[in-house]
Amino acid sequence: MAKNSKKTIYLCENCGNEFSQWSGRCTICGEWNSLKEVSFDVPITNARSSKIEATNIKDVKVSSKTRTTTGISEFDRVLGGGIVAGSIILLGGEPGIGKSTLMLEVAQTIGHTIYISAEESLEQIKIRADRLNLKSKDLTLISDGNIDSLEMTVQQYKPQLLIVDSVQTVYLSSYPSTPGSLVQVRECGIFLQRLAKKSGVPIIIVGHVTKEGSVAGPRMLEHLVDAVLYLEGERFHDARILRGVKNRFGATNEVGIFQMESKGLIEVKNPSELFLSQRIDKPGSATGCTLEGTRPLLIEVQSIVVSTNYGYPKRTSSGFDLNRLNLLAAVVSKNTPINLSNFDIYLNIAGGIKISEPAIDLPVCLSMISSYKNKTVSRKDCFFAEVGLLGEIRKVSREADRVKECQRLGYNPKYHYKDLNQLIQTLF
């Protein structure tokens, strides 16, 4: 019988790196007071007697069915065409954003699934499934957070998918710490990764997020998994965006668009229509075209420009970077006859979506100019271009795809202006 030795390390709560000694600051990420002491048992083995198995690459057999489609096209799109056998996926998002709802819908469509939820009782899960009108008979529920015997359960039921909701509530009894602690999250992540690779059963792990928007727990958890997905959106808006930030089996720039309704998350086949459905012709509104992954989206940018009552103008933005807004306001003031230095600016991306792409610079500038001049921009004109510091209008990537999307929806693409002054003279 192998003996165990006690080992103590110091684990950074922020980045997940290990250290042999405690210090006030993590030397990797620079965070102060983030190193926590972790003790665990390490089995003592004879290194000389151990043997590592090696396999030649030509002897590795690949299954003909490497991916399983869920039937939810937006979910499959983000994963690159479906769930890869033996993969492990991490799904993060704010509380109440719809993670558990999405997982139940995936379990409904993919076949025999084991759903582990240590946060809810079996009755609560059944009530939510009935509300979503899910009638799957191949869904096996587990409400126990102890996953010590999970490997035996997988061998017994042979599921097509295993869902763990959430990693902060499950635990291994061999580690004397509470669920959600650094040790438990780390060791449970390693245990589930090994289980997925050994059994060939794909595993989706649901994780809570921190105030900064990243998955709670050691950063190593994101390194262990094959794909990291985030479900984003404002709680008081219907739109939900499933965004991939890591994917070993597909592109990381794809997004899926959903709409939260009383019967769950509904796929949005035409996202542009969702974001422009309530647009009205008034000064301060402009239509822009942005890229979310490989998909062009038409969105509405709204601005209010009013005289400030204080010595320092106020700038507020929702769905758009505030620093970028201040920069664009300075560009307009410096390179055009319009001086915004004494005006408060309030900017909003309608629909609860968050945009960081440079192509949205032009509609942002145009919406501010429209509000300042109190003149309406045609609702059938769609703008996309980057605005430089000298007021020049620059090209952006994949213009042909944006033009095609604008024309498909009946909008006139506007993007080939020389500078902001030419834009103002042409439109106003």
User: 11-42, pLDDT tens digit by residue?
Assistant: 777 776 778 888 889 888 888 888 888 776 66
- Cβ pair 105, 265 in contact under 8 A: yes
Give the contacts of 308 (CB within 8 A, at least 6 positions apart).
314, 342, 343, 344
Lowest mean pLDDT among 22-31, 44-53, 128-137, 141-150: 44-53
Q: Indicate the pTM of the whole model.
A: 0.78
User: 355-412, pLDDT tens digit by residue?
Assistant: 989 999 999 999 999 999 999 999 899 999 999 999 999 999 999 999 999 998 899 9
pLDDT band, very low/low/confident/very high, at 1 (cuts 50, 70, 90)? very low
* Mean pLDDT along residues 62-86: 87
Q: Can you read off the two tokens belonging to residue 9? A: 């390390």
Which of 207-240 are b and which e, b meaning 16 or more Cβ less than 10 Å from the residue's Cβ? Answer: bbbeeeebbbbbbbbbebbbbbbbbbbbeeebbb
The most distant pair of C-alpha atoms in the chain lies apart, rounded to whole Å, by 84
For 380, other C-beta atoms within 10 Å of its C-beta total 12
* Mean pLDDT along residues 143-159: 93
How much is the pLDDT for 41?
63
For 21, other C-beta atoms within 10 Å of its C-beta total 8
How much is the pLDDT for 214?
67
How much is the pLDDT for 182?
78
Which of 339-363 are b and which e, b meaning 16 or more Cβ less than 10 Å from the residue's Cβ? Answer: ebeebbbbbbbbbbbebebbbbbbb
Instruction: Name residue 131's amino acid.
Output: R
pLDDT greater than 80 at residue 48: no
SS3 411: coil
Residues 357 and 410: their CA atoms lie apart, in Å, by 23
Q: What angle do CA 273, 276, 281 make, to 5 degrees?
A: 140
Q: Can you read off the two tokens belonging to residue 67? A: 């991916």
How much is the pLDDT for 364?
97
pLDDT greater than 60 at residue 219: yes
Q: Can you read off the two tokens belonging to residue 10? A: 């110091």
Interhelix angle 420-427/322-335, rounded to 10 degrees, is 80
Average confidence score pLDDT of the chain: 88
SS3 418: coil
Strand partners, 160: none
How much is the pLDDT for 211?
63
* Mean pLDDT along residues 80-93: 93
Residues 422 and 115: their CA atoms lie apart, in Å, by 59
Nearest to 385 by CA among 396, 372, 397: 396
SS3 32: strand
